[in-house]
Chains A and B, each alone.
Chain A
Amino acid sequence: MSNTRQFCTFYLDRLLFGVESQKIQEVAGYRELRPVPLAPPAVSGLMNLRGQVVVALELRKQLELSERPSTMTPVCLVVRGSGGEVCLLADEVGNVVEVDDDTFEPSPETLSPRLRSVILGVHKLEDQLMHVLDTDRACEVGAAGEGANET
């Protein structure tokens, strides 16, 4: 029972993350985002991806990591979720790795419940741990902050 899977890896705040490669539609360079007032904090904005309007989500916010330094330009991982294409913003793209199912371990209980729903578990690579991301969950955001309406 030792299957191997292909993962696309990327970095967030020096941590290594992986997404099953068939879930990734493309990796696009960063382009100007149209901010969306009143949107949930994880929504960085909307971008024009070859004529389609795609929402860009900040993975650092989704994963409760520190904010990306302004000097760093993010990359866009375009994933096809249940609700259409979504662009996930990461720091840097890594290699495509093949991992054995045997090296997988689910997330420890001590991880916060919110993170445990997004991070399925880790693969123990030789030199570091690769966090496996559930893309569908990563594309979900909380309720919009509509309370900001004022007249």
Chain B
Amino acid sequence: MSDADDIVKEFLVESYENLDRLDHDLIELEKHPSDREVLASVFRTIHTIKGTSGFLAFSQLEAVAHVGENLLARLRDGQLLLNPAITTALLTMVDAVRQMLGHIEKQGNEGEDDHTKLIASLTQLLQPGNEEKPAEPSGKRATKKTVNPTTQEKASPPAAEEGAAPPAVKAKAAAAGGTQVPAAEKSAEVRAEDASPHAGEPKPGTAAGPSASDSTIRVDVSLLDQLMNLVGELVLARNQILQFTNSTEESGLVATSQRLNLITSELQEGVMKTRMQPIGNIWGKFPRTVRDVALSCGKQVRIEMSGKETELDKTLIEAIKDPLTHLVRNAVDHGIEAPAARKAVGKDPEGRLFLHAYHEGGQVNIEISDDGAGLNQEKIRNKAIQKGLITADQTARMTEREIVNLIFLPGFSTAEKVTNVSGRGVGLDVVKTHIEKIGGTVDVQSKMGQGVMVRMKIPLTLAIIPALIVSNGGERYAIPQVSLQELVRLDGEQAHTGIEMIHGTPVYRLRGRLLPLVYLGRALGVEARPAASGNAPVRESVNVVVLEVEGRQFGLVVDEVNDTEEIVVKPLSKQLKTISIYAGATIMGDGKVALILDVPGLAHGARVLVQGREQTQPPAPAAAAGESGQTQKLVLFTGLADSRMAVPLSMLARLENIPGVQVERSGNQWVTQYRGQILPLIRVSHALEERRKLLPESDAQPLPSSGALQVLVLEHERQSFGLVVNQILDIVESSLEPKSPPTRTGVLFSCVIGDKVTELLDVPAILRGGETGKLAEAAEAGS
């Protein structure tokens, strides 16, 4: 009995997977009705379900799948052309199949639902006139097919159901030669492949890949979870051992622990990978969602995706599924206008919904943008005031971006009518809570008349996160890197004068913008407020950790910045859950416990998000650009002679200050020892040919012996190298519009960022050139 159960279970799992693909394929088909490959794939899926359900004696299921198959066969053979009516009928069939599968899973039978109507409508679409044709060219299997349509059309539907089962089983037995019948799915597969050569069809279903299933196995997720926990513990133990061996001379132990270190890292990576899933897994459902929603509100929407293969931890994938679906539905229902309205403003009547996922700085960014009407700021402002979420006074001081982000407040909805899709006022705040619960952030940008982009930033995984370790009052705290923007250190004179006061509230001028400061010690209540005089406390140096939350920046002043580390997040017990300033705890390499700070909680606690609003200037204007794809995050820096240059932030691994004494020479190349590896250093001034010609003397400078080098550690095609720059300026988000062609090699083009001409470097070209070979020769010839 349990054997049979197993077969049914396998059948269910496989069918569900197939159905998910089917939804996607059908939508795809609607766009390209003549794509035979997709058609063949759809046909195969339904065919497999039909075959297996026949074998397992689920006659209703088989009957439904069977008419679907007939219809698909016509489509595949080109005797019918796909139209919306057929697509809808097929989708309804998929739903019915799914429903029956659900019944089978729960109750072990197909349920009581009556599917005769569906069968009838599917049969009707077959058009009696075409019936005879498939019989002629397709041999054995087609014969079987023609039997059923005739019985169905002539006999009453229930009879058709009865009649459908035996032929399928017989056909299978015949094709599989009887011996293979017990292996249910296999025989169905075999039958499909076996039958087609006989039938002599142009596109046989042989493309079905059994190879994939041979090299994969199904594993229980809870087992993976358990493994993940164990690896987490192992990472902790490894950290402790490393710390211990640092203070020992025993070479054997050191070597072993280094090996342990390596293996642990690889193991961790491997286990993390087992839990990784491409985001395409959840996106696969969206074409169907979009189609349904668009149809129900009379709109035309085309969905486009990029970055489907971007991988995320399984738990995170599940956690973002609902919020994403919500946003997609919202975009179709509210974002994109009706075709007539679109035409009126000169847009393509078909709206475009664009999903984009990519990795950046150890996080996954997901953008959902539409080219609809955009958010109406006035409406949002009025609504927020009307609902008492915010005062008129406050809105007057808010930036555009802050206003559009009000839509994430609980109880907010501007939809004028409540549709069955969205607009009940619950939703966006729930989306936000869900995303924040998993340590992500969500932000919306809008341009009137041009569309809305919602951007989520999600950590790669939940259990182990990269974090910055800081100390305050002798205790260590971990700050998740998701919120980290940059680190600023004020030394000497600056430590006294750099921090100014606005009526007792400390601020720092960060590149001309006022950054509200929060003293960690005071936020935690372990350090007294400074004397009433309002002066900042006098320190040797001040470390400011610049954090961003909900699109707002603030500086956290800490005693010391230690290092970045991968930490294992441990939840806090219920006694401490109410303290919003902590996100959890972790155990450090020395076995001591450190607290993980919750940056949004910290910001709210310190009232940065409410009070600070009045004092901060809007973020860089470019950041409000509504269209995705055209804006990019860039690291700005200066080369020699203060010319401004930029590289994409996505290439940046770290910013480093490398002391000159640590620079060594290897051949003609500057190198440094960096995290146990040799990092080649490329001076930006040398990489660009022109500069090299202008400054031949720089060649004579051997190695910098004093001072420090500002280095961008970049990664390109898994290769790391350091770009030595004059000064690191800023990180900006800007649209990249080439204003002039490149003037020298190593430069892609020049553009204007923040009112200044900036050269965008061609990193691959620089990497190819290096500081050796051609460039050096050219320089010699030039000088």
Contact = CB atoms under 8 A, between A and B. Distances in A.
13 contacts: A34-B585, A34-B593, A34-B594, A37-B526, A46-B585, A53-B585, A53-B586, A55-B573, A55-B575, A83-B573, A141-B575, A148-B525, A151-B608
A51 B237 CA distance: 8
Given A37-B524, A149-B606, A43 B475 contact: no
The 6 A-B residue pairs with the shortest CB-CB distance, nearest first, are: A148-B525, A37-B524, A83-B574, A34-B593, A149-B605, A53-B585
A86 interface: yes
Contacts of B574: 83-84
Interface string A46-77: 11100111110100000000000000000000
Given A34-B595, A48-B591, A52-B570, A149 B525 contact: yes
Nearest to A35: B475
B579 A151 contact: no
A150 B576 contact: no
Of listed A36, A43, A141, A143, residue having the most chain B CB within 10 A: A36
A149 B575 contact: no
Of listed B573, B578, B579, B605, residue having the most chain A CB within 10 A: B573
Interface residues of B, number: 37
Contacts of B591: 48
Contacts of A143: 578
Nearest to B232: A51
A151 B522 contact: yes
A146 interface: yes
A136 to B, nearest CB: 11
A11 to B, nearest CB: 23
Contacts, number: 95
Contacts of A141: 575
Given A83-B574, A151-B522, 10 more contacts: A32-B592, A34-B593, A39-B575, A47-B593, A48-B587, A48-B593, A51-B237, A53-B585, A53-B593, A54-B573
Contacts of B259: none
Interface string B596-618: 00000000011110010000000
Contacts of B581: 38, 146, 149
Contacts of A86: 573, 575
Contacts of A106: none
Interface string B516-527: 001100111110
Contacts of B611: 151
B587 A150 contact: no
B575 A57 contact: yes
Nearest to B580: A146
Of listed B237, B585, B611, residue having the most chain A CB within 10 A: B585
Contact of A144 (B573, B576, B585, B607): B576
Contacts of A119: none
B523 A150 contact: yes
A8 interface: no
A40 B525 contact: no
Contacts of A46: 585, 593, 595
Nearest to A139: B575
A67 to B, nearest CB: 19
Interface string A120-147: 0000000000000000000111011110
A78 to B, nearest CB: 12
Contacts of A139: 575
Nearest to B528: A150
Contact of A51 (B233, B522, B576, B606): B233
Interface string B27-46: 00000000000000000000
Contacts of B570: 52-53
